[in-house]
């Protein structure tokens, strides 16, 4: 094997690692979401049963807490997806005959810390499947509070 083939094999292993990390963050995000919805539903049911409107405010705080937790997982997942795409482009370039040029940041699994900008990028319209369920739950809690 020549040196470029060794590098390509390392890049493929790195790509697989990024894919697995991304998948893990995705699974964790769904676990956080389902747990949050479960806690929210239990809190709302308790407030309804006891006719206590203040519990609905507490349910908003619960769903916001789980929203922030899931947002952190999603931000990390998207960073690993971006890294995976960089590696994929590098491999594709090599396969079509270009020189093998490694990504600028190398192939480390260390990613930059999510920023406030990364957090607000989660609210883009194309990511509505992330934030819309939380919006519905918050609106439901507010509506229950005033009814």
* 101 pLDDT higher than 80: no
For residue 100, what pLDDT is reported? 75
Identify the pLDDT of residue 127: 95
pLDDT at 1 exceeding the cut of 60: no
Please give the pLDDT value at position 39: 97
What's the pTM value of the predicted model, to 2 decimals? 0.87
Of residues 76 and 109, the one with the higher pLDDT is 76
The residue extents of the domains of the chain are: 3-146
Which residue would you say has higher pLDDT here, 28 or 91? Answer: 28
pLDDT of residue 147: 86
Q: Degrees (nearest 5) of the Cα angle 40, 42, 44? A: 70
Instruction: Give the pLDDT band of residue 99 (cuts 50, 70, 90).
Output: confident
Is pLDDT at 120 greater than 90 in this prediction? yes
What is the sign, positive or negative, of the torsion defined by CA atoms of 120, 40, 137, 28?
Answer: positive
Residue with the bigger pLDDT between 126 and 107: it is 126
Mean pLDDT of 56-66: 97
Task: Convert 4-25 into a string of H (helix), E (strand) and C (coil).
Answer: HHHHHHHHHHHHHHHHHHHHHH
% of the chain exceeding 70 in pLDDT: 99
Q: What pLDDT score was predicted for residue 54?
A: 93
Q: What is the mean pLDDT of the chain?
A: 92
Which residue from 137, 5, 116 is spatially nearest to 61, judged by alpha carbons? 137
Q: Is 33 helix (H, G, I), strand (E, B) or coil?
A: helix
CA angle (35 as vertex; 32, 41 as ends), nearest 5: 135
Q: How confident is the model at residue 72 (pLDDT cuts 50, 70, 90)?
A: very high
Query: CB under 8 Å to 54, separation ≥6 — which residues?
Result: 47
Is the distance from CB of 4 to CB of 100 less than 8 angstroms? yes
Q: What is the widest separation between alpha-carbon atoms in the chain?
A: 73
Is 40 in contact with 63 (CB distance < 8 Å)?
yes
Q: List Cβ neighbours of 58 (8 Å cut-off, separation of 6 or more).
A: 43, 47
């Amino acid at each position: 094997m020549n040196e470029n083939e060794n590098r390509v094999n390392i890049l493929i292993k790195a790509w697989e690692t990024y894919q697995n990390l991304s998948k893990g963050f995705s699974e964790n995000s769904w676990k956080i979401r389902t747990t949050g919805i479960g806690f929210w539903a239990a809190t709302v049911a308790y407030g309804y049963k006891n006719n206590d409107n203040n519990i609905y405010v507490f349910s908003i705080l619960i769903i916001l807490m789980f929203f922030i937790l899931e947002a952190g997982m999603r931000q990390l997942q998207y960073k690993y997806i971006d890294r995976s795409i960089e590696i994929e482009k590098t491999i594709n370039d090599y396969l079509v005959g270009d020189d093998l040029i490694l990504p600028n940041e190398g192939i480390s699994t260390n990613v930059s810390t999510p920023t406030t900008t990364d957090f607000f990028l989660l609210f883009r319209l194309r990511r509505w499947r992330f934030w819309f369920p939380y919006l519905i739950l918050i609106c439901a809690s507010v509506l229950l509070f005033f009814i």
